[in-house]
Amino acid sequence: MAGPITRVDGGTITTARGFRAGGTYVGIKTYSEDKMDMGMLLSDTPCSVAAVFTKSTLVSPSVTLNRETLRAGAPVRGLVVNSGIANAGVGEQGYIDAKEMAAVAAAGLGVKPAEVLVFSTGVIGVELPMTLIKKGVDEIQLAEDGGNSLARAMMTTDTRTKEAGVSVNLGGAEINICGVAKGSGMIHPNMATMLCFVATDAAVEQDFMRAILPDIADNTLNMLDIDGDTSTNDSLVVLANGAAGNSPISGGSADAEVFKEALTDVLVQLTRQLARDGEGATRLLVAEVRGAKNTADARLAAKTIASSLLIKSAVYGADPNWGRLIMALGRCGAETVESKIDLYINGVCIMEGGRPVPFHRDAVVALMRGDEVTFGVNLNLSDGQATAWGCDLTEEYVVINSAYTT
């Protein structure tokens, strides 16, 4: 019997046992106090591994190298990440540098290059400064409480770290699933400029983990939208080292369902943190769609609402301009029947059966001025449902992205 899934207060990636992490500042990003731009993660023992990468056709060679490593199928021991430069759009040198970064990090971690994944995030079109990368590997001090440093080292325009963890008792063994993420801009369904690393001390069969991860990503990180753009580098990776001593989790077991639920919860927490810290964001936007013809339609509708510039602008202005919801539902590609649509803003029904319901405008405006605006949609066609997360669009987004220089 599995116990309840509990969110770990202050949980971060190293809350999972047998993982150490660290970060440092080497000078890839411009200096400011407490800033970091390189990090590493090491498991004491080999890990089963699963990953989901960007759907872009023009990817960073670091992603290409990781795909090769994953395909080889051998256990992974750790990862290295830099922020500030994406190692993308630099021609053949990018792959050479990614290989070199893995080799250098492996030497520093005392493992083989094929056991290390490499990640870069930042500006496209600039080569990695390999001298700084080597310096970083030498400098990083791994620690059992180093998760926060790793989270800081990944940040680009993020204003705060994204960390989360859950624990659950599986047949007497307490397992932890914990992660860190970075995002902020260039974020959209289909894995945007987003890096997310999850570590678990559970023993999990690799095939099972690889089988479930794409769908979990589709329900969480791929339902996140900041600005509709998708980067060359997006990656979600899950490492499982088995330090918890549980019986290895495989498909079809009761534990498998609990593990999926717990992993989903960690990723929902990180997705919400990413959305809330979107570039220039002042509040979280949640789109909950139910009653769609199927899951695909529900995802289309939810994502379209969360990514509409007009809706995001209305959220910023705390304006219950629900006509824009109708516009978004109409263009999203999902099946809709106008006379069946119910709409809610933060729980207040504003349209029922396709007809506007008189509502107390000032009260709804007041609700929308909070730190979270939830649009509820019931298409009343069937049982498809999905949730998407985003943020408001503010002048600050434009300022950040018109000044952010190559």
Using the minimum distance from each CB to its own copies, give the nearer residue, 208 or 316: 316
- Which positions are annotated as active-site residues? 193
Residues 65-104 that bind its own copies (CB under 8 A): 86, 88-91
* Rounded least distance, CB 337 to its own copies, Å: 9
Using the minimum distance from each CB to its own copies, give the nearer residue, 171 or 323: 323
Site for its own copies contains 59 (CB under 8 A): yes
Q: How far apart are CA 117 and CA 66, in angstroms?
A: 6
Residues 161, 165, 166, CA angle at the centre, nearest 5°?
160
Cβ-based neighbours of 301, under 8 Å, separated by 6 or more: 287, 289, 292, 328, 329, 332, 334, 336, 377, 379, 386
Q: How far apart are CA 374 and CA 112, in angstroms?
A: 47
Site for its own copies contains 34 (CB under 8 A): no
* Rounded least distance, CB 53 to its own copies, Å: 12
CB environment 102-136: b (16+ within 10 A), e (fewer) = bbbbbebbebebbbbbbbbbbbbebebbeebbbbb
Using the minimum distance from each CB to its own copies, give the nearer residue, 201 or 279: 279
Using the minimum distance from each CB to its own copies, give the nearer residue, 14 or 304: 304
Type and span of the H or E element at 328: helix 323-331
Site for its own copies contains 335 (CB under 8 A): yes
Type and span of the H or E element at 364: helix 361-368
Residues 108-127 that bind its own copies (CB under 8 A): 123-125
Selected binder of its own copies within 320, 376, 384, 390 (CB under 8 A): 320
Task: Choose one: 3-11, 245-253, 254-262, 350-358; the region binding its own copies (CB under 8 A).
Answer: 350-358
Binding marks (x or -) toward its own copies, 142..161, rule CB under 8 A? --------------------
Longest dimension (CA), the chain: 67
Binding marks (x or -) toward its own copies, 229..268, rule CB under 8 A? xxxx------------------------------------
Answer for the pair 273, 385: CB distance below 8 angstroms, yes or no.
no
Residues 270-309 that bind its own copies (CB under 8 A): 307-309
Residue 61 to residues 50, 105, 243, 313, 383, Cα–Cα distance (Å):
18, 17, 32, 36, 41
- Roughly how many angstroms between the first and final C-alpha of the chain, as a whole number? 54
Binding residues for its own copies, rule: CB under 8 A, are: 54-59, 86, 88-91, 123-125, 185-186, 188, 190, 227-232, 307-310, 313-314, 316-317, 319-324, 326-331, 334-336, 338-339, 351, 354-356, 392-395, 397-406
